[in-house]
Amino acid sequence: MSRPTATRANGSRMDPAGGPLAGRHVLLGVSGGVAAYKAAALVRGLLREGATVQAILTESAARFVGAATFEGLTGRPVHTDVWADAHTVPHVALAREADVAVVAPATANVLAKFASGMADDLLSAAYLCLRCPVVIAPAMHTEMWEHPATRASVDVLATHGVELVGPASGSLAGGDEGLGRLVEEDELLDVVRRLAGTNGGGPLAGKRVVVTAGGTREPIDPVRFIGNRSSGKMGYALAAELVRRGANVDLVSGPSHLAAPGGARVHHVETALEMREAVLRLVDDADIVVKAAAVADFRPADYHKQKLKKESDEFAEVVLTRNPDILAELGERKNGTLLVGFAAETDLEEERGRDKLHRKGLDLIVINRVDMADAGFGVDTNRALLLDVNGGRTEVPLTTKARLATMVCDQVEDLIERAGEHEGSDDL
């Protein structure tokens, strides 16, 4: 006898024994790349985990893999066109019923459309209507991925609060090798499972979090400043991920060209002293402070209101004075706030990291490499070592900053849960 299953408004089955994605409805967008054939395997994986899947194919995706493949797998009609069944307003209806949306593979064209808000086909129009977690897995040739236009799309998408997964390195269409390959099915399923499970209801939901991001600029005169190479990408990715997990986020940002992550309140600052003032103003109401900013350790002792002449002695000998260490100050006056610090290192030396963790009164430290072409300042990827106050250690090999942000948030959630357990045991 078959097991009875309840049906939700969006048609998904609520089957308690049906796998980690049981009762979840996934909207799968497939765009036109060779990797479109892998989306069919992804449908299988999602179904195996208990999800129901609705596919939207772009016109060019349908040239790579026939709609019949997806219809056969999902058991539902595949949508490709805003004009078919127009009376059902498909871009709105399909987006509304989704618990999670996955776009795999996402071409450079689709990334650009999503980033710019264009809505000239069903997939891009549905994207604008999505209010659920969104996972985007780009796949394209390395040259296209590396082009400034695609980089700009990716930067904007990070601020929409979507999760970008990959691309990975490996064989590409036409026998080429390099970065641009669709990530493996397991990695995508991991992300979908996490987003379907948390969706704002996890330990970070409702927590007040202050995130700092970017570098500070310490002015010498109205024209010149001392600064550093920080782009803000790591802090902005963290703010976006925290918002996605339901946190109430204040982002204190040094100068950055990045657009504000949707859902976070952004406080723009320029100098270390301004950052300190903003953080101290916000910290009293905060449950968590994440200090991803690269704060200048020194500033010019005197600010010259007039532009210094290049011949002037004052310019030749700018005297520096030490900036306050905001994080150390927070550690000293700590009152139940969970503190996450960052350290920029040219190696991932554990002992020095642990020493910094304890010296600054932190709960978690993210030590990142800043001396490699694919890690640290300005790039989208990073390598890191996470050390927590309970002795935990997680080494993170090369990954995207978005993915590192999810790992940091996972660790913060663990720390919140452990702190909750301790509180509980004190009451006994």
Provide the sign of the torsion angle of the four alpha carbons 295, 300, 303, 306, taken in this order.
negative
The string over 167-178, giving b where at least 16 C-beta atoms fall within 10 Å of a residue's C-beta and e elsewhere, is beeeebeeeeee
Give residue for tokens 């993170």.
396
> From the list 81, 274, 325, 413, which residue makes contact with ligand CTP (rule: CB under 6 A)?
325
Per DSSP, helices labelled H in 309-390 are: 313-316, 326-332, 350-359
Which of 115, 130, 183, 327 touches ligand CTP by CB under 6 A? 327
- Please confirm whether the linkage preceding 105 is cis (ω < 30° from 0): yes
Q: Which residues of 318-357 are buried (b: 16+ CB within 10 A; e: fewer)?
A: beeeebebbbebbbeebeebbbbbbbbbeebeeeebbebb
Q: How far is the CB of 217 from ligand CTP (least distance, A)?
A: 13
User: Rounded CA gap, 141 and 143, in Å?
Assistant: 6
Q: Is 382 a catalytic residue?
A: no
- CB of 249 vs ligand CTP, minimal distance in Å: 16
The two three-digit tokens of residue 242, written as one number: 């925290």
Q: How far is the CB of 368 from ligand CTP (least distance, A)?
A: 9
Number of residues counted as binding ligand CTP (CB under 6 A): 15
Kindly state whether residue 342 participates in binding ligand CTP, applying the rule CB under 6 A.
yes
- The tokens 């390099």 sit on which residue? 178
- Report the residue from 34, 152, 273, 344 that binds ligand CTP according to the rule CB under 6 A: 344
Question: Within 74-93, which residues bind ligand CTP (CB under 6 A)?
Answer: none
Strand partners, 344: 368
**Segment holding 70, helix H or strand E:** helix 67-74
Of 31, 252, 26, nearest to 124 by C-alpha is: 31
Taking the complex as a whole, how short is the minimal distance between the CB of residue 78 and ligand CTP, in angstroms?
48
Considering only 46, 209, 243, 343, the residue that binds ligand CTP (CB under 6 A) is: 343
CB of 372 to ligand CTP, least distance (A): 15
Answer yes or no whether residue 274 interacts with ligand CTP by CB under 6 A: no
Q: Which is nearer to ligand CTP, 96 or 334 (CB)?
A: 334
Can residue 291 be called a binding residue for ligand CTP (CB under 6 A)?
A: yes
Q: Does 231 bind ligand CTP (CB under 6 A)?
A: no
Indicate the residue among 31 and 231 with the shorter CB distance to ligand CTP: 231
- Residue 110's Cβ-side half-sphere holds a number of Cα atoms within 13 Å equal to 30
- Pattern 347-376, binding to ligand CTP, x per CB under 6 A? ---------x--------------------
| Smallest distance from ligand CTP to CB 356, Å | 6
Q: Which is nearer to ligand CTP, 139 or 343 (CB)?
A: 343
- Residues in region 208-227 near ligand CTP by CB under 6 A: 212
Q: Which stretch binds ligand CTP (CB under 6 A): 11-19, 26-34, 89-97, 323-331?
A: 323-331
Q: Which of 109, 199, 228, 390 is catalytic?
A: 228
Residue 272 within binding range of ligand CTP, rule CB under 6 A: yes
Beta carbons of 258 and 232 less than 8 angstroms apart: yes
How far apart CA 338 and CA 39 sit, in angstroms, is: 40
- Phi–psi pair at 337, nearest 5 degrees: -80, 135
H or E, element range at 116? helix 108-116
Quick one: which of 101, 295, 339, 386 contacts ligand CTP (CB under 6 A)?
Answer: 295
Binding ligand CTP (rule: CB under 6 A), the pick from 161, 167, 180, 341 is 341
Residue 277 sits in the site that holds ligand CTP (CB under 6 A): no
Q: Which residue's entry shows tokens 């003032």? A: 277
Residue 36 binding ligand CTP, by CB under 6 A:
no
| 236 contributes a contact to ligand CTP by CB under 6 A | no
| 8 A C-beta contact, residue 252 and residue 213 | yes
Least distance to ligand CTP from the beta carbon of 246, Å?
A: 24
Q: Which one, 7 or 346, has the nearer CB to ligand CTP?
A: 346
Among candidate residues 394, 368, 390, 365, the one with its CA nearest the CA of residue 381: 368
Residue of 132, 137, 289, 326 interacting with ligand CTP (CB under 6 A): 326
Taking a C-beta distance cutoff of 8 angstroms, is the pair 288, 210 a contact? yes
Tell me the C-alpha distance between 290 and 364, whole Å: 9
Would you name the residues annotated as active-site residues?
A: 228
* Residues at the contact surface with ligand CTP, assessed by CB under 6 A: 212, 272, 291, 293, 295, 297, 323, 325-327, 341-344, 356
